[in-house]
Structure 1
């Protein structure tokens, strides 16, 4: 087996919650030695976030935390102590990357800002992932995925017409745009350092990667000064383009068949019901103009189909269609994800066998799974103290009794 792509790279990981932890997870799952700096005095709030394994709360039982922190090591350092800050500097001296997603100024309070860290290691790659970046009139504003979605317009655009902004139902910026953009920037900085020997300061304002999702709406405004609004599943001039009922309780299918060829294939797959053959539905312009009528007729045709059977029938005719699956469907019954080995089961010291996401891409000749389960709080403190800091057992005991290793 070849070396993992990031083997030999060490990350001093000060990130917490969603976007930062997912960024460093991507690095850890591909071989980087990611050492997560935690403290029982100020817990990563994901550790106390549902769902808990078997419904039993505990600092080491959060499935959310586990999935965002696979393949990492955890140490507990009290950065409010001088000794804790000194140990953090020792770790940084051996690290290629230092990552945090705190509000600007937080790392500086501990003497761990970029200028401080650069004096420890001149070629360091320093990743800072605050909500609004390191400068500007709002740079110290606090926020999470919800507020990032609101500030960028994502919240405004999601929902039904004439209803309040609904958002995405999750902290979407934490899961897709921000960690992926940040990890890409880190990889580019590693390549730059390999070519030049120079480190980098990477300032990610988490609002800005989220804006990359909104291209059509931004262009609509910049070209025509139209601010847009909430339209549910509708996308002008596409129709049908929505979710339709299937047989059973709360069973649905998403269908996008607005082009004439796709529409004709859809009607044929459904057995050419008379109520879909009206002349006003024959063209894409006519379908858009009469979308309420023909989508009602389409729902009448789909409601007696099994959703999986209908998806297979439509896909066989080249119609874009997908079953609206539940979490149970995705984990236990999705044949494509099972084929790709997306779900990985790992043994966790406290939770036992747990399910993890594999990285969402595959690299030739490399394993594409998390290497080991998420760490217990401080699970690797003694190991790092001995093998990275060179401390004896007695010295470790003193630091623990003095509240430095907490």
Structure 2
């Protein structure tokens, strides 16, 4: 099926987490995303575990693979002026340019917005440094964990009265920042198709993260209330927790939004109805500990109680709901072989929007891009390799 972004070309200078995931979304939607890489400074997540078969290598990282499906990879040593000229020739044939370098890096390379707009006035140019391209903190550098601390997400996470626990992962890199960036590029692309004009988008990743904390920010600025971490509880909920069940380190998450679900929980567990939370919590924990987490979750769901087993990674892969949604995709990678990939967490009724190709090998498509888009001969390509430009 034709994909929503078929025919859109993206020159992707992003690397590591948030930027790569933003352009992966576009690539899975059908855009031709050309990832600019170099052997002189390899994308950090190419060197990050887990590695296929436990064997490390620039083409064997599962982390990199999942962030870069459906893309093509081209080698360009951007420290060479001739390589920058080649990059500008590619930009002249593209609709979008994306990078998540620190502020000022693209300008120093000769690939800042002004330089790019000279060769392509209609370009949509997204930069997504940590604090944006302007302001007193523009040169600060960081990744998801730092953004979680700066924006206060860590302050809100953990058990009340204890040190912040964090989210267990670099949450800003995986959800808010790539999501905001992809949405911004799609909105700008729609605007360009309606008006013929490009846009410069300066997205500070800390600001995208702050956008997810609106209620907490308002509570502080309007009410002067600095909310403490909630632990496993939830604001406005009658009761909620994550409890151990029968089995080896098996757990279940249960939520009772109102007293009605609480009474249904007691009935499902065979406990006396009408018991208050304070008096019944010990009995609830004991009853839950005697049940299997999957069996109990099904029984609670049947009673109208939000509940789910806490799954290990192998159990997530085998989860019936994800299987039904066809979330997992197996793609044949040139070096890693048949490899499991995440699909996009959404589906379209009339368009396919899931990964089409595995992540590329480092520089895998350099020659074909040079031939197809730049009109270079095999000899010219060989000469560029010899002079360290395509490296």
Common fold by TM > 0.5: yes
* 2:15 is equivalent to residue 30 of structure 1: no
Q: Is the 8 A contact 1:240 1:295 kept in 2?
A: no
**In structure 1, how many angstroms separate the alpha carbons of the residues matched to 2:18 and 2:196?**
28
Give the match for residue 266 of structure 1.
Answer: 265
TM-score after normalising by structure 1: 0.94
Give the match for residue 101 of structure 1.
Answer: 100
- Shift, 1:162, TM fit: 2.5
* 2:160 is equivalent to residue 164 of structure 1: no
* 2:311 is equivalent to residue 325 of structure 1: yes
- Shift, 1:237, TM fit: 4.7
Look up the SS of the partner of 1:95 in the other structure.
Answer: coil
Look up the SS of the partner of 2:389 in the other structure.
Answer: coil
**In structure 2, how many angstroms separate the alpha carbons of the residues matched to 1:217 and 1:251?**
32
* 2:367 is equivalent to residue 403 of structure 1: no
- Shift, 1:208, TM fit: 1.2
- Shift, 1:401, TM fit: 0.8
Q: Is the 8 A contact 1:234 1:242 kept in 2?
A: yes
Mean Cα deviation higher: 158-167 or 14-23: 158-167
Give the match for residue 222 of structure 2.
Answer: 223
Give the match for residue 284 of structure 1.
Answer: none
Mean Cα deviation higher: 40-49 or 294-303: 294-303
Candidates 330, 333, 337, aligned match of 1:345: 330
Deviations, residues 269-308 of structure 1 (Å, cap 9, x unaligned): 112x24x643xx1xxxxx3xx3xx5333211110111111
Give the match for residue 202 of structure 2.
Answer: 203
Deviations, residues 335-357 of structure 1 (Å, cap 9, x unaligned): 01001100000000000011111
**In structure 2, how many angstroms separate the alpha carbons of the residues matched to 1:161 and 1:209?**
26
Deviations, residues 214-262 of structure 1 (Å, cap 9, x unaligned): 2332232123211122231122453421101111111111111140111
* 2:368 is equivalent to residue 369 of structure 1: no
Total equivalences in the alignment? 391
Give the match for residue 342 of structure 2.
Answer: 357
Q: Is the 8 A contact 1:36 1:72 kept in 2?
A: yes
TM-score after normalising by structure 2: 0.98
Q: Is the 8 A contact 2:78 2:84 kept in 1?
A: yes
CA 1:92–1:311: 2 relative to 1, 3 Å? same
Q: Is the 8 A contact 1:345 1:353 kept in 2?
A: yes
Give the match for residue 390 of structure 1.
Answer: 375
**In structure 2, how many angstroms separate the alpha carbons of the residues matched to 1:256 and 1:164?**
24
**In structure 1, how many angstroms separate the alpha carbons of the residues matched to 2:280 and 2:206?**
39
Look up the SS of the partner of 1:136 in the other structure.
Answer: coil
* 2:294 is equivalent to residue 308 of structure 1: yes
Q: Is the 8 A contact 1:148 1:173 kept in 2?
A: yes
Q: Is the 8 A contact 1:35 1:73 kept in 2?
A: yes
Counterparts of residues 59-208 of structure 1 (less than 5 Å): 59-208=58-207
Deviations, residues 367-404 of structure 1 (Å, cap 9, x unaligned): 23200000000000000111111111111111101100
Counterparts of residues 270-289 of structure 1 (less than 5 Å): 270-271=269-270, 273-274=271-272, 277-278=274-275, 281=276, 287=277
**In structure 2, how many angstroms separate the alpha carbons of the residues matched to 1:361 and 1:229?**
33
**In structure 2, how many angstroms separate the alpha carbons of the residues matched to 1:192 and 1:237?**
40
**In structure 1, how many angstroms separate the alpha carbons of the residues matched to 2:306 and 2:132?**
39
**In structure 2, how many angstroms separate the alpha carbons of the residues matched to 1:369 and 1:405?**
31
Structure 1 alignment gaps of length 5 or more: 282-286
Give the match for residue 14 of structure 1.
Answer: 13
Deviations, residues 142-174 of structure 1 (Å, cap 9, x unaligned): 000000101100011111223222211111001
Give the match for residue 298 of structure 1.
Answer: 284
